Amino acid sequence: MVPEYPRIAAGLNWCYREYVRREVGRHLGHLSEIRSVLQFEGTETVLTRADGSRENVGMVRIEAGGRVFTRTSTLDTILTELSSLALDMAHQQSRSVYAAMDKVCEESGQTFDARGQRLDADLFLKALEMVEIDFDDLGRPRLPTLVVGGGPDAVRTLLSQQDDPEVKKRFDALISDKYEAWRDREASRKLAG
Amino acid sequence: VIERLLESWLDSASERSYQPPFCQMLLADGHRVVHSSRHSAIEFGKDIVTVAPDGTVCAYQLKGKPGGRFTGKDFQSILAQLLQLVTGDVSRPEVPAGAPRRNILVTNALFEEEAAKALDEFNRGLPAGYQKLEVLNRGDLLDAAKRLGMALWPAELADANALLELLVTDGRDVLPLERMDALLTSTLGLQEDAEKPSNESVRRRVSSAAVLTSIGLKTFSEQGNHLAVARGWVMFATYVCAAAARWNVSDARLTSAIDLAVEAALAELAWLTEEVRGEPDTWDRATWFHPLLRDAVFTEVTGWLSLYWVESQRTGWRNEDHRDFLRSFLPSDAQRLALWGEGALPQWLAWTWFLRNTEGNLHPEQQLVSLLAALLRTNGPDAKLDPLASPYYDVSEILRHRLPGLSPREEDSLARDTAAGGSFFVRAFLHLVARAGRKRTCQDAWPEYTRIAHREFRPAERWRFCVIKTGHGQELSEHVPLTGRWADLYAEARNTDTPGVPEPLRARPFLLAAYAMTCPWRATSAVLRYLSNTYYGPAFFG
């Protein structure tokens, strides 16, 4: 056999894995901001929500493959290939996250079929009505992230309406209602008896 | 390979370290061990007393002489003890009156000719009516260990590797749980695809595992790393519980094997107490190079010795001196204790048990309240402080995370694991505070409590609770309803059932508590309520 330099190989292996991990995070974009929790045992999590509803969440396998190291590979080709693997993994991961979100929203009646209508302020406010919104210590709403497919064109109408006084009035009223709901929710956090 | 390892272990073992496996060998030969203790004054020259299958009472005295020869001079130096061994009564309730008797000197050294002559003279000089002294030496011990069933020992290369990997671990380090797990899983036949063995095979495997555990702990024993050795015996005992539960085997031999391992773990804590007492200013010097590590080790020692204290108080002190010494050594306040992660909480809890047993005031209760407050403050979803990491991380991983330069190429999984918004312990501590009848404190804590997901792992089968990690089971993550009722909380807090914990483990609170300190992710709220009921006291009756 020829020398395999196992310690160097182990170090490089660690560097490549870190690179892939960072690339996956970069490709995931806003999804990488979601808090992750590691599970050390078992293959399933049972979530119980405050309203008593339960959900079994299983594991989803995410994998990607390719020929990274060849006799002719250069450092550039290695990194390009690893980046491509990372992109593939990020796609699988985001598809899996959105599929899970779809399932939860469907089950809890939080979906709204726009029937092909372009996203505008009316649609946005209707969707927002379905969402539970929390507020910070200063009473500022913690608004959810809006994910829209179809590129910048898809949100052009919505953006053009954001300064419309009527839209602003409806938005403020909605936030005011959400604030009341949040206060009621917070007030109900008590141990009675 | 194993045979060589066995010889190497035996040649380097002190009598302390070969006593536990020697007892397990006697069990395998059908003896009933009625006394085995090295952490108390030797009982009139007898380290071990057994009743053999034929009813003969056997009294043993162990002498370790690593790598050496037992000379005539060695024999002369212990004459007084040997005389006690031979002439002293064995007055124990388990020993039938008038039973035939054997007296045996056991040594891991080669018994030299001069020593044999001295033995002969000794026996000839005995007054009439006393049984002669016999000797078991290195060769006899080796034969006994081999007879136990070499065929059952790790035959596969991977299994032998588990043992070799343990043997190359630095004996000054923490016990590598995964390596112990690999060794015990293969020896006890706990692999996923294992077929049900016969009951006799389970018993033989237990005896083999005991000897392999001793060999595996060799480097730790040599370094006097008492906590690592104690953890090793705790793991052996819980894995025997796993085998018994998985294969539905329940008999006196397995029960004795577990009890002897528990006794071995307690003995290590007794020796740790001796070490701390003997070197009050320097016992933890090796950890002074980093304040967090130093305080974490002090917390760990405090937890284990607190457990030793409350268990001795419950079952009787093996060494009365330790009671008073530990009362002065164990801290009365939390100043030097480190809350480095949720993994430290079982150690803190053991300390509150000690406080409860030694102080007649509200101090221990206030410590529970402080720990609950700390969890709510750090692990809420919007906490401004660093959350306490999950109990699956030990202090070295926390340090590696905080000081990335320590080992840059090792994976820092903590960086990808968010503890904020979840806790494995907050439910337990709310229950412990509720058990004390602190209704107002619970009401104050409740709003923040409802924001935290209460996490717990539930193994698919009972026996899996006894192994350090399993692929079969569910992690539960629960948010409680926003509005709760005190009566419901209090009822839950008073409940001391431990569903999912095999009975042999539940029946031994010390073992369960030691296991919870070894694998803190197994310290569920049910386990901690039960243990607190045992060591802290029953719930406040309000």
For B53-77, the three-class secondary structure string (H helix, E strand, C coil) is CCCCEEEEEEECCCCCEECHHHHHH
CA B308, CA B266: separation in Å to the nearest integer? 7
Considering only CB atoms, which chain A residues are within 8 Å of B475? 39, 41-42, 44-46
**pLDDT per residue as tens digits for the range A23-71:** 999 999 889 888 889 999 999 999 999 999 999 999 999 999 888 898 8
CA A51, CA A54: separation in Å to the nearest integer? 9
Instruction: Please indicate whether, in this complex, the C-beta atoms of B418 and A14 are within 8 angstroms of each other.
Output: no
Q: Which long-range contacts (CB under 8 A, 24 or more apart) does B279-284 make?
A: B280/B329
Res B44: pLDDT: 62
- What DSSP assignment string belongs to A128-181? HHTS--EE-TTS-EEPPPP--SS-GGGGHHHHHTTT-HHHHHHHHHHHHHHHHH
Which residue is associated with the tokens 């996923």?
A: B192
Residues 348-387 of B with CB under 8 A from A: 382
Res B542: pLDDT: 56
Give the minimum alpha-carbon distance from B192 to chain A in angstroms, rounded to a whole number: 13
Which residue is associated with the tokens 């284990």?
A: B304
Considering only CB atoms, which chain A residues are within 8 Å of B434? none
The residue type found at B475 is E
Do β-strands B69-70 and B133-136 pair in parallel, antiparallel, or remain unpaired? unpaired
CA B50, CA B235: separation in Å to the nearest integer? 25
Q: Which residue of B has its CA nearest to A10?
A: B409
Query: Do B461 and B504 touch, CB atoms closer than 8 A?
Result: no
Sign of CA dihedral B283, B287, B290, B295: negative
Query: Do B528 and B284 touch, CB atoms closer than 8 A?
Result: no
CA B413, CA B288: separation in Å to the nearest integer? 26
- What is the predicted ipTM? 0.86
Instruction: Please indicate whether, in this complex, the C-beta atoms of B477 and A48 are within 8 angstroms of each other.
Output: yes
Distances (CA, A) of A45 to A55, A94, B385, B453, B475: 8, 19, 26, 12, 5
Confidence of residue A157 (pLDDT cuts 50, 70, 90): confident
Give the mutation candidate from A8, A28, A41 for the B interface (greatest B CB count, under 10 A): A41
Backbone phi, then psi, for A32, in 5-degree steps? -70, -10
Res B5: pLDDT: 77
Instruction: Please indicate whether, in this complex, the C-beta atoms of B446 and A189 are within 8 angstroms of each other.
Output: yes
Res A86: pLDDT: 96
B424 interfaces chain A, CB cutoff of 8 Å:
no
Give the minimum alpha-carbon distance from B283 to chain A in angstroms, rounded to a whole number: 34
Instruction: Please indicate whether, in this complex, the C-beta atoms of B484 and A51 are within 8 angstroms of each other.
Output: no
Res B157: pLDDT: 47
Give the minimum alpha-carbon distance from B416 to chain A in angstroms, rounded to a whole number: 6
For A69-90, the three-class secondary structure string (H helix, E strand, C coil) is CCCCCCHHHHHHHHHHHHHHHH
Q: Which residue of B has its CA nearest to A22?
A: B416
Instruction: Please indicate whether, in this complex, the C-beta atoms of A50 and B480 are within 8 angstroms of each other.
Output: yes
Sign of CA dihedral B206, B208, B210, B213: negative
Distances (CA, A) of A165 to A120, A121, A162, A171, B336: 15, 12, 8, 10, 61
**pLDDT per residue as tens digits for the range A4-15:** 888 888 889 889
Considering only CB atoms, which chain A residues are within 8 Å of B411? 14, 17
Res B242: pLDDT: 97
Structural element, H or E, at residue B517 = helix B509-518
Give CA angle at B307 (B306, B311), nearest 5°: 120
Residues of chain B with pLDDT under 50: 42, 151-152, 154, 156-157
Q: Which residue of B has its CA nearest to A135?
A: B382
B404 interfaces chain A, CB cutoff of 8 Å:
no
Instruction: Please indicate whether, in this complex, the C-beta atoms of A191 and B442 are within 8 angstroms of each other.
Output: yes
Structural element, H or E, at residue B477 = strand B473-478
**pLDDT per residue as tens digits for the range A67-117:** 889 889 999 999 999 999 999 999 999 999 999 888 888 888 888 888 888
Instruction: Please indicate whether, in this complex, the C-beta atoms of B418 and A35 are within 8 angstroms of each other.
Output: yes
CB pairs under 8 A between A and B: 101
Do β-strands A190-192 and B483-485 pair in parallel, antiparallel, or remain unpaired? parallel
**pLDDT per residue as tens digits for the range A125-145:** 998 998 999 999 899 999 988
**Quick one: tokens of B169?**
């671990």
Closest CA to B132 of B144, B142, B124: B124
Sign of CA dihedral A176, A102, B455, B227: negative
- Exposure letters A117-138 (e unless 16+ CB within 10 A, then b): eebbbeebeebbeeeebeeeee
Q: Which residue of A has its CA nearest to B447?
A: A189
Instruction: Please indicate whether, in this complex, the C-beta atoms of B477 and A45 are within 8 angstroms of each other.
Output: yes
CA B305, CA B273: separation in Å to the nearest integer? 7
Considering only CB atoms, which chain A residues are within 8 Å of B471? 41-43
B459 interfaces chain A, CB cutoff of 8 Å:
yes
Query: Do B494 and A58 touch, CB atoms closer than 8 A?
Result: no
Res B481: pLDDT: 97
CA B295, CA B282: separation in Å to the nearest integer? 14
Considering only CB atoms, which chain B residues are within 8 Å of A185? 482
Give the mutation candidate from B413, B478, B490, B524 for the A interface (greatest A CB count, under 10 A): B478
Sign of CA dihedral B373, B376, B379, B383: negative
Instruction: Please indicate whether, in this complex, the C-beta atoms of B483 and A190 are within 8 angstroms of each other.
Output: yes
Q: Which residue of B has its CA nearest to A32?
A: B416
Considering only CB atoms, which chain B residues are within 8 Å of A183? none
